[in-house]
């Protein structure tokens, strides 16, 4: 059994990830969708079933009343998201706890570890209230230990594992989906120190997506179809909004690789005159650059402010470390090089660098010795009811716990396929009763 924490979690505004450092190499855990990152999105259904990640994200624009995203931006505030179908109100820290539970489940599924401790990263711009809320989220997720680490330090630790990293000054440029962080980091004598930091908790790649939708997609669609302004949308436009929002993100990524991208929009309903909305148009990288350049300029201004605050010059910085998916934007890289004159380094995956560094840091933190009273696990008798044979690929499974244990405030249950292809997520139990729609694998019955 390990004597150190070893697990690191990047709890991001848009995407999150979990990694393990075993003393030799870093392992980033894939989720059930076989992806290194999990969308930081939560959906709650009418039954109280909680869905996290890609499947929740797919409902973001078609069922916005029951889906929450980008809640890291209001971490530490009293704001709550109302999930209409289940009539539940959750804070940002409660929603963050669901993301953490999902990440921990992925690690537990792929290892024999119970994973009760992990280092969690936070933006350098986070204040005391946001950090305390993150710590509470960790507790709600079942973690007994959750030291916090600033995200720029996490990325720096990942890069410090490379040869020739001692006695340097780095500028960590972390542009995520929802937040921006900049930090000047010193590696003097192997000691990582943040000399200065700046940031904007309301600036990220998702803002680029919204610009594309608002400034390019919608005006072009209005030029061909009778559509109201974006602020006047009704529920009948949800499918259209979902499709074009997804297309906006695709275009942003495509234009990172090519000078032009073609957008095809169809099967999204009708306009106010009853005409079928179908369109295809081309967008150039130059059009995108014009939209996002003011935002990149703002980040560079914050870089200069951080350099000045550290009482050094740009010539004293050896490398700009790029972190976050939006840093793959060509214009961003060009402007950073031209304006600051510092070499860029993005040799470690920008999407997982923070989690990797957090895991390495976690391997240096001893686990606390906690006195645990060992008790025999209590088996709960559960009566299940379901159709023995079903012609569909899903069926309803209902269950009741006949004898609820005493002194238990809340019990949750999860149904999983042994193959690992499906999970119900954690389901609440109300008065001993629960139900879930279970997804089945097709089988052929031999005569």
2 inside domain: no
Domain termination residue (choose one: 267, 290, 313):
290
Contact 402, 381 (CB under 8 A): yes
Contact 90, 137 (CB under 8 A): no
| CATH number of the domain bearing residue 227 | 3.90.640.10
User: CA separation (Å) from 437 to 41, 396, 427, 444?
Assistant: 21, 4, 11, 21
Contact 184, 316 (CB under 8 A): no
214 inside domain: yes
E strand segments, 127-275: 148-150, 169-175, 180-186, 193-200, 260-265
Domain termination residue (choose one: 243, 268, 290):
290
d(CA 242, CA 257): 24
d(CA 444, CA 442): 7
- 308 and 190 share a domain? yes
Position of tokens 């402010």? 305
Residue 81 bridge partners (DSSP): 90
SS3 at position 54: helix
- pLDDT given for residue 302 in this prediction: 95
- 314 and 177 share a domain? yes
- 181 and 274 share a domain? no
Number of domains forming the structure of the chain: 4
d(CA 40, CA 69): 6
Contact 283, 199 (CB under 8 A): no
Q: Which residues have a Cβ under 8 Å from the Cβ of 370 and sit 6 or more positions away? A: 144
d(CA 171, CA 159): 12
399 inside domain: yes
- 196 and 336 share a domain? yes
Q: What is the DSSP letter of 336?
A: H
R_g over Cα of the chain: 24
- 306 and 183 share a domain? yes
159 inside domain: no
Which two tokens mark 281?
């148009």
| CATH number of the domain bearing residue 48 | 3.30.420.40
- pLDDT given for residue 117 in this prediction: 96
SS3 at position 370: coil
- pLDDT given for residue 289 in this prediction: 96
356 inside domain: no
Domain interval for residue 50 = 7-153
Residue 438 bridge partners (DSSP): 395
363 inside domain: no
218: left (phi over 0), alpha (psi -120 to 50) or beta: alpha
3-state helix, strand, coil in the chain (%, to 5): 35, 25, 40
Domain termination residue (choose one: 290, 320, 355):
290
Residue 149: half-sphere exposure toward Cβ, Cα within 13 Å: 33
Backbone angles phi, psi at 23, to 5 degrees: 100, -15
Question: Parallel, antiparallel, or unpaired: how do β-strands 433-439 and 394-401 relate?
Answer: antiparallel
- 271 and 329 share a domain? no
- 112 and 241 share a domain? no
User: CA separation (Å) from 122 to 8, 24, 36, 38, 153?
Assistant: 12, 25, 19, 17, 10
SS3 at position 355: helix
- 127 and 38 share a domain? yes
Closest CA to 254 of 212, 204, 203, 207: 212
- 278 and 399 share a domain? no
List, as own/partner pairs, every contact residues 291-296 make where C-beta atoms lie below 8 angstroms and the sequence separation is at least 24, other chains included.
291/208, 291/211, 291/212, 291/215, 291/216, 292/208, 292/211, 292/329, 292/331, 292/332, 293/331, 293/335, 295/203, 295/207, 295/208, 296/329, 296/331, 296/332, 296/335
- Ordered per-residue pLDDT tens for the chain, 447 residues: 678 999 999 999 999 999 999 989 999 999 999 999 999 999 999 988 999 999 999 888 778 899 999 999 899 998 999 999 999 999 999 999 999 999 999 999 999 889 999 999 998 888 899 999 999 999 999 999 999 999 989 999 999 988 888 899 999 999 988 889 899 999 988 788 889 989 887 888 889 999 999 999 999 999 999 998 887 666 667 778 888 988 998 999 999 999 999 999 988 888 889 999 999 999 999 999 999 999 999 999 999 999 999 999 999 999 999 999 999 999 999 999 999 999 999 999 999 999 999 999 999 999 986 544 444 556 677 877 777 666 666 777 888 887 766 555 567 777 766 555 566 666 777 777 777 777 666 654 444
- pLDDT given for residue 327 in this prediction: 94
Task: Report which secondary-structure segment, H or E, holds 55.
Answer: helix 54-57
- 312 and 224 share a domain? no
- 199 and 320 share a domain? yes
- 195 and 219 share a domain? no
366 inside domain: no
410 inside domain: yes
d(CA 86, CA 299): 40
Burial 108-141, CB ≥16 within 10 A → b, else e: eeeeeeebbbbbbbbbbbbeeebbebbbbbbebb
């Amino acid at each position: 059994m390990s004597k150190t924490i070893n697990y690191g979690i990047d709890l991001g505004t848009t995407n999150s990830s979990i990694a393990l450092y075993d003393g030799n190499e870093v392992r980033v855990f894939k989720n059930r969708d076989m992806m290194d990152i999990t969308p930081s999105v939560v959906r709650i259904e009418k039954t109280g079933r909680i869905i996290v990640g890609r499947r929740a994200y797919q409902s973001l624009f078609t069922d916005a009343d029951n889906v929450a995203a980008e809640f890291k931006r209001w971490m530490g505030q009293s704001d709550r998201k109302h999930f209409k179908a289940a009539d539940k109100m959750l804070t940002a820290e409660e929603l963050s706890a669901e993301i953490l539970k999902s990440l921990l489940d992925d690690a537990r599924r792929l290892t024999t570890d119970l994973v009760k401790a992990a280092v969690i990263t936070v933006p350098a711009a986070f204040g005391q209230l946001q950090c305390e809320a993150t710590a509470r989220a960790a507790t709600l997720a079942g973690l007994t230990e959750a030291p916090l680490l600033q995200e720029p330090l996490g990325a720096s630790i990942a890069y410090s594992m490379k040869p020739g990293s001692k006695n340097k000054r780095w500028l960590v440029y972390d542009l995520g989906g929802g937040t921006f962080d900049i930090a000047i980091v010193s590696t003097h004598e192997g000691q990582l120190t943040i000399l200065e930091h700046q940031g904007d908790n309301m600036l990220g790649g998702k803002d680029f997506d919204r610009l594309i939708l608002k400034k390019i997609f919608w005006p072009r669609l209005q030029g061909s179809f009778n559509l109201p302004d974006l602020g006047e949308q009704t529920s009948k436009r949800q499918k259209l909004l979902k499709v074009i929002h997804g297309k906006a993100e695709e275009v942003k990524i495509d234009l990172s690789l090519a000078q032009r991208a073609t957008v095809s929009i169809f099967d999204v309903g009708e306009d106010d005159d009853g005409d079928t909305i179908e369109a295809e148009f081309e967008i150039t990288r130059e059009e995108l650059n014009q939209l996002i350049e003011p935002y990149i300029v703002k980040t560079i201004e914050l870089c200069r402010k951080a350099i000045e605050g550290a009482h050094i010059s740009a010539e004293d910085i050896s490398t700009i470390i790029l972190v976050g998916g939006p840093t793959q934007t060509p214009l961003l890289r060009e402007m950073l090089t031209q304006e600051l004159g510092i070499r860029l380094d993005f040799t470690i995956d920008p999407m997982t660098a923070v989690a990797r560094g957090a895991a390495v840091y976690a391997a240096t933190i001893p686990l606390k010795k906690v006195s645990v009273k060992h008790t025999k696990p209590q088996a709960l008798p559960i009566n299940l009811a379901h159709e023995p044979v079903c012609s569909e690929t899903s069926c309803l499974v209902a269950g009741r716990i006949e004898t609820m244990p005493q002194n238990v405030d809340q019990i949750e249950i999860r149904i999983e396929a042994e193959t690992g292809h499906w999970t119900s997520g954690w389901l609440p139990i109300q008065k001993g009763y629960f139900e879930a729609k279970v997804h089945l694998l097709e089988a052929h019955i031999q005569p």
